[in-house]
Amino acid sequence: MNIMNAIKHINKVLFILLSLIFIVGCDDNASDLQLSGDTWLKTLKLDEYQGIIDNSNKTVVVGVPVDYNTDAMKVTAIEVSDGAEASMKVGDVANFSFPQTIKVTRGDAFLDYTVIVKHDEAKITSFKLNNEYTGIIDEENHSILVRIPTSATITSLIPTIETTEGATVSPASGQAVDFTNPVEFTVTYQSATTVYTVSVVQSDSPSAVYVGLASSIDELNPEEKAAANWMLKNIPNAQYLSFDDVRTGRVNLSDCKVMWWHLHVDGGINNEAKFDADAASAVQAVSKVKEFYENGGSLLLTRFATYYAAKLGVTKDGKVPNNSWGGTEASGETTTAPWSFFITNNSEHALYAGISTATIDGKPAIYTCDKGYNITNSTAQWHLGWEDYADLTTWETNHGAVSLGYGGDGAVVVWEYPSSETSGRVLCIGSGCYDWYSAGVDVSADQYHVNVEKLTQNAINYLISESK
């Protein structure tokens, strides 16, 4: 054996010895871990209210009366697997106005349970008449409005009602009701009771419609649903229609002045082919919507619905927004400061009436949400300096639209296609700041979010006033 082979042999032996030492060491460490035995939470009571334990999801839900104070609840019973210990014991007091965690431990094994205290609630979550006409639920005023044609007999309409879990409602779902006058529906669940007043309004032709891809408002995504519900509550004689409803002529639109479509797609739309795939029923209804437009009807297109203008033949060059993107509701961006867009040279336009403006970098702007808002930043804008649009004047000339709002880099985020002698107008809002739904955030205290409503109200009023 030469020297080199001898060295290789010695190295091989040393490697084997070291490996054996390492394995033995690992075995010794593993033997120290105590992983046998169960770590289940078997019973939990807070102030004597029994918790419902879901071991598959490691959650506990404790139901309490509707007005019960949960700020300082006492653990009155807790039971875990034999030999295990819990991080809370009988007599402990904690604030359960938000979820708490109980850790169940046995040796080195453990499970974390999320404990949620839920107040009794009795709410109507969905209301339809004759399984066709969807009610607009106003939870703040506990009222429901249903619009139906004048041809329907309102003395015997059958409601289909969905409620929060476990609740009962009277009159019952499926029971024929006379809606000649407003009817009270009482929802009850344990300590909670809510009375809703349901009113039926008969109308053959709406004055304004919110149009969507879904067959009903209930099936819209949260972003679109928030926008649609706002419209039906705030715009007189408004109605929800699906694009299939429009295509098949199910509703008479002879008195309709404005059609609004607000399109949200998680992850965004960044090209025309994706729009065609994601909004197939809207593309199929183009001829009917174009007929509405050419007969003097106006359209409000917001977010990715702005692509639809090209489909309707409203644009000069047939192009769709050249710079668009969007996030998802589940992983939205939390704003660290208020969001806004600029309205340079357009602050007197009817679209911005009554909205307080701010001066940012020496230019007028409007805020649409405050710090702490969860937003998808879904944007469909016109970036200047790309393709055929060297500057704003070139874009307006070639594309045939009038700019009304701008992003921080000068991109066009709000614009309008003027009317002709017979056609209506098309108003587009593609700013990422224009947002209706903030996942997991209560926006009632957001000082700027009301501007989204004002902007939309102004847009609809403007289009109605300018209609043929």
Do 50 and 169 fall within a single domain? no
Residue 8, domain member (yes or no): no
Strand pairing category for 100-106 and 85-86 = antiparallel
108 and 33 Cβ atoms separated by less than 8 Å: yes
End residue of a domain, out of 183, 202, 221: 202
- Does position 212 have pLDDT exceeding 90, yes or no? yes
The torsion angles phi and psi of 289, rounded to 5 degrees, stand at -70, -40
Q: What CATH code is carried by the domain that includes residue 441?
A: 3.40.50
Do 347 and 426 fall within a single domain? yes
Do 230 and 284 fall within a single domain? yes
Residue 30, domain member (yes or no): no
Residue 276, judged by CB atoms within 10 A of its CB (0-12, 13-18, 19+), counts as middle
Do 325 and 245 fall within a single domain? yes
The CA distance from 386 to 105, in Å, is 61
- Does position 147 have pLDDT exceeding 90, yes or no? no
The torsion angles phi and psi of 349, rounded to 5 degrees, stand at -65, 145
Specify the 3-state DSSP secondary structure of 404. Answer: strand
Predicted confidence (pLDDT) per residue in 258-317, tens digit = 999 999 999 999 999 999 999 999 999 999 999 999 999 999 999 999 999 999 999 999
Do 212 and 277 fall within a single domain? yes
Specify the 3-state DSSP secondary structure of 380. Answer: strand
Q: How many separate domains does the chain show?
A: 3
Percent of the chain's residues with pLDDT above 70: 92
Q: What CATH code is carried by the domain that includes residue 187?
A: 2.60.40.2340
Between CA 188 and CA 197, with CA 191 as vertex, the angle to 5 degrees is 35
Strand arrangement, sheet containing 298-303: 238-242, 208-212, 258-263, 298-303, 426-429, 412-417, 402-406, 339-342, 363-369, 358-360
Mean pLDDT of the chain: 91
Q: What is the pLDDT of residue 15?
A: 45
Do 168 and 229 fall within a single domain? no
289 and 309 Cβ atoms separated by less than 8 Å: no
End residue of a domain, out of 152, 173, 202: 202
Q: What is the pLDDT of residue 379?
A: 98
Do 350 and 383 fall within a single domain? yes
70 and 64 Cβ atoms separated by less than 8 Å: yes
Q: What is the pLDDT of residue 419?
A: 93
Specify the 3-state DSSP secondary structure of 401. Answer: coil
Segment 101-128 mean pLDDT? 94
Predicted confidence (pLDDT) per residue in 253-268, tens digit = 999 999 999 999 999 9
- Does position 3 have pLDDT exceeding 80, yes or no? no
Do 260 and 340 fall within a single domain? yes
The CA distance from 358 to 435, in Å, is 19
- Does position 28 have pLDDT exceeding 70, yes or no? no
Do 93 and 68 fall within a single domain? yes
Q: Is the peptide bond before 65 cis (omega within 30 degrees of 0)?
A: no
By residue count, the chain amounts to 468
Q: What is the pTM of this model?
A: 0.72
Segment 441-448 mean pLDDT? 92
- Does position 446 have pLDDT exceeding 60, yes or no? yes
Q: What is the pLDDT of residue 137?
A: 86
Q: Could you list the residue range(s) of the whole structural domain that residue 310 is in?
A: 208-465
Q: How far is CA 444 from CA 27, 57, 377, 433, 448, in A?
A: 58, 31, 20, 17, 10
**Residue environment code for 347-374, b if the CB has 16+ CB neighbours within 10 A, otherwise e:** bebebbeebebeeeeeebbbbbbbeebb
Do 189 and 217 fall within a single domain? no
Residue 35, domain member (yes or no): no
326 and 268 Cβ atoms separated by less than 8 Å: yes
End residue of a domain, out of 54, 88, 119: 119
Predicted confidence (pLDDT) per residue in 341-389, tens digit = 999 999 999 999 999 899 999 999 999 999 999 999 999 999 999 878 9
Confidence of residue 25 (pLDDT cuts 50, 70, 90): very low
Name which residue leads in pLDDT, 191 or 18: 191
The CA distance from 337 to 251, in Å, is 44
Residue 18, domain member (yes or no): no
Q: What is the pLDDT of residue 465?
A: 84
SS (H, E, C) 321-336: CCEEECCCHHHCEECC
378 and 322 Cβ atoms separated by less than 8 Å: no
Do 232 and 155 fall within a single domain? no
Residue 326, domain member (yes or no): yes
Residue 2, domain member (yes or no): no
Do 227 and 166 fall within a single domain? no
- Does position 211 have pLDDT exceeding 60, yes or no? yes
Residue 155, domain member (yes or no): yes
Q: What is the pLDDT of residue 158?
A: 96
Strand pairing category for 333-334 and 374-375 = antiparallel
Residue 31, domain member (yes or no): no
Q: What is the pLDDT of residue 347?
A: 94
